[in-house]
């Protein structure tokens, strides 16, 4: 499986990731690292306490990493959480809606990691 095939398989933007990282070698390195990163786990764990600071920081970090890697759907979902808990902003979502979005992030992250594992084994 090639990097392009991986990105197609996980419904991500290879072109966006390549614009940021410039060469396949770096993209390969960082997408592999993403599979073992704890950035999404931190966001999922923050849901348990609904701590605004922790949710903002973990979602903001996830948004940046996912955006740089072309994981556009994950970045978009993380952005929703980051904006909801941005310091100085008023909340517009209930805890149930926040939890639902984090569930979507968790499911998509699991599918993404599964795709990366298949890529590593090919």
> To which CATH superfamily is domain 3-121 assigned?
HPT domain (1.20.120.160)
- Sequential DSSP letters for 42-98: HHHHHTTTT-HHHHHHHHHHHHHHHHHTT-HHHHHHHHHHHHHT-TTPPP-S-HHHH
**54-96, pLDDT tens digit by residue?**
999 999 999 999 999 999 999 999 999 999 999 999 999 999 9
Q: For tokens 């909801």, what's the residue?
A: 84
* Secondary structure (3-state) at 110: helix
Q: Where are the domains of the chain?
A: 3-121
Q: What predicted TM-score, i.e. pTM, was given to this entire model?
A: 0.94
Do residues 39 and 49 touch, judged by C-beta distance below 8 A?
no
């Amino acid at each position: 499986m090639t990097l392009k095939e991986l990105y197609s398989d996980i419904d991500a933007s290879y072109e966006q990731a390549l614009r940021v990282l410039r060469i396949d070698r770096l993209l390969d390195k960082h997408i592999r690292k993403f599979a073992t990163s704890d950035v999404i786990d931190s966001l999922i764990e923050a849901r348990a306490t609904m701590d605004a600071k922790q949710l903002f920081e973990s979602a903001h970090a996830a948004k940046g990493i996912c955006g740089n890697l072309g994981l556009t759907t994950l970045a978009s979902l993380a952005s929703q959480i980051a904006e909801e808990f941005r310091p100085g902003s008023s909340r517009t979502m209930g805890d149930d809606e926040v939890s639902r979005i984090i569930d979507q992030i968790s499911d998509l992250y699991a599918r993404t990691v599964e795709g990366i594992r298949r890529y590593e084994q090919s």
